[in-house]
A and B are shown apart, each in its own frame.
Chain A
Amino acid sequence: MSTDTKQVTSEEKPAAKPAAKPAANLPAFENSISDKIVEKFGDKIEVEFVKENRVGIKVDKENIHDVAEFIRDGLNYDHVESVSGVDYPQDKEIEVVYHIGSYSDSSLAKQILVLATRAVREENPIPGKDATKLPTLRDIFYSVEFHEREVFEMFGVYFTGHPDNRRLLLPEDWADLPPLRKDFAIKGR
């Protein structure tokens, strides 16, 4: 009984799956994006990965402002979807990852450019007053405003030049470690 129905369905739609596949296996367009950035900045940046619809760029904090400016003006990306911090205690670094997309350029509608940079991680953080600092991207991508405030309170990464580095989600009187760092442990776990 079940084998009969399976045959019928496979006959009904034979072309649907294979037609979608070949385009997906070719990240040629993604390679052209990463090539443009490499051409402009050379060894200042590192291409982390080139996957389908995703290009990952790693850059140190001295150059992130210039790279972001080129991404906006030269490559037509126009907004930041998400800013996530990732804590790496063994490297003594905190990574901040920007996911940048584009609404105005329809050829980039699927693409997300993943721009990552790293800040120094302090063992005993004093948020805003220690060396864990990065230049802000708010003057380039306006949409990072609340995202960077969130990263500041959750990881203690201070964004130099951000006009409004207040707490967003945490209570004003939070006096513990920034809670998404790995050394802040949930009780009982």
Chain B
Amino acid sequence: MTAELPPGLAIQKVDERIMTLNVGPQHPGSGHMRIIVQIDGDYIVACDPDPGYVHRGEEKMAEYRNYITNIPHLERPVIHDSCNALYPYVLGVEELLGIEVPERAQYVRVICSELNRCIYTMYWLAIYGIFLGHSTMFMWPAGDRELLIDLMEKISGARVTHAHFVPGGVRNDLPPNFEEVCLRQVNYFEKRIKEYAAVFYDNPILISRTENTGVLSREDAIRLGTTGSVLRASGVDYDLRLKEPYDVYEELDVHTNVMKEGDSYARSKVPWLDMLESCNIIRQALQKMPKSGSVRVKLKPNPKGKGLDSVYKRVESGRGSLGCHIVSDGKVEPYRLKLSVGSFRNLIALPYLLKGEKLGNMPSVYWSLNYWPVEADR
């Protein structure tokens, strides 16, 4: 009987002690996905993540649009990190077309990308805070990220979904007097997020809830192919801004934050430390950026690649490495476009981390993965 059923519908017989629980997709604690957990009393014995509720076929859509009209929809999977979401695609198209980007445009991209990383991380921190029942940690990041959203609005005209990166540079130059405003906002932002330590990261209640829960060892982090803050919280020093620098990152002084514990607390602290580092990078970039010059190479209408070709470009986004594999067959549309996103790669760790944990620890483990369901589904 079960052999006739299509995959996924097979009925599984479990022990009578075990209760199967569907967390999501409507449950607010699960994001836009379902987590099927099997519990024995209060302890999770098995967990099966079931994403796909917000799958919208970005990869299929990309095959029907040309290299320029692909820009706005490819940032949709993660709208508050939209510059980083577009970054690998734009780098890949530039390599396909053989375009050199002006230096000022590269600096503008780095600034936008770091601002977006902070905007994303603040949003994630707000969610992480509220699901641990810490409403101050919801209100403060949700309010403070407005500082940086204002900056991005000045640059691109939109609060989210900027569509600011284009093959050949960025869409517009920075507005006049931007450097001073940016420096002031970023300095204030840095001062604000340092205050989070007192209410959140040094809070004994948070530490008692997250320390030693969901421990991912260094070996497992590597074996499972996790990325970004999850990987760095498990003691692996790997950040693409340092390891495979793109644009002008190799001229900037970038430090990575690595913690050895690999528990929920470390995974929640690394993105916060990354934000402080982002502030440093923005200040350096503002200082080193050429004060004038072109920010965009004009492309010919309907740019196309040179015959059968493929590129794989990756950048460090707010959720880890974000790769874009473009196969071109010399037409104006990509033949195939594949996004390899950090959220999807980190999801594989969830069943391992939840096994043996208490059900009450599920939100702290799940959200500490720096996971964005919409991006994982694409």
Contact = CB atoms under 8 A, between A and B. Distances in A.
Nearest to B236: A103
A65 interface: no
A81 B88 CA distance: 14
Interface stretch (A32-40, A117-125, A161-169): A161-169
B59 A142 contact: no
Contact of A110 (B7, B243, B327, B345): B243
A99 B57 contact: no
Q: Helix, strand, loop or mixed for chain B's interface?
A: mixed
Given A78-B222, A143-B348, A189-B64, A112 B312 contact: yes
A81 B52 contact: no
Contact of B344 (A2, A9, A146): A146
A34 B262 CA distance: 35
Interface string A45-67: 00000000110100000000000
Interface stretch (B38-46, B74-82, B201-209, B287-295): B287-295
Given A6-B292, A169-B377, A179 B344 contact: no
A5 interface: yes
A104 B222 contact: yes
B307 to A, nearest CB: 13
B61 interface: yes
Contacts of B11: none
Contacts of B6: 172-173
A86 B50 CA distance: 24
A9 B52 CA distance: 49
Interface in B322-378: 323, 325, 327, 335-336, 338, 340, 344-345, 347-348, 377
A172 B377 contact: no
Contacts of A99: 312, 323, 325, 340
Contacts of A17: 103
Given A81-B345, A128-B7, A146-B344, A86 B64 contact: no
Contact of B223 (A78, A82, A112, A189): A78
Given A79-B223, A180-B59, A103 B292 contact: no
B238 interface: yes
- Most chain B CB within 10 A, of A81, A170, A173, is at A81
A11 B219 CA distance: 48
A168 B51 contact: yes
Nearest to B6: A172
A17 B323 CA distance: 25
B60 A180 contact: yes
Interface string A79-102: 111101011000000000101000
Given A145-B348, A147-B344, 17 more contacts: A2-B292, A6-B293, A16-B251, A79-B225, A81-B225, A81-B340, A82-B340, A84-B340, A86-B327, A99-B340, A104-B222, A114-B310, A143-B348, A146-B344, A146-B348, A168-B52, A169-B52
Interface of A: 2, 5-6, 8-9, 13, 16-17, 20, 53-54, 56, 78-82, 84, 86-87, 97, 99, 103-104, 109-110, 112, 114, 128, 141-143, 145-147, 165-173, 179-180, 184, 186, 189
19 contacts: A5-B291, A6-B292, A9-B290, A9-B293, A56-B310, A99-B323, A103-B231, A103-B236, A103-B238, A142-B225, A143-B225, A143-B345, A145-B348, A165-B7, A166-B7, A167-B8, A168-B52, A170-B55, A186-B64
Nearest 9 A-B pairs (CB), nearest first? Answer: A143-B225, A82-B340, A79-B225, A84-B338, A169-B52, A109-B243, A9-B290, A172-B8, A110-B244
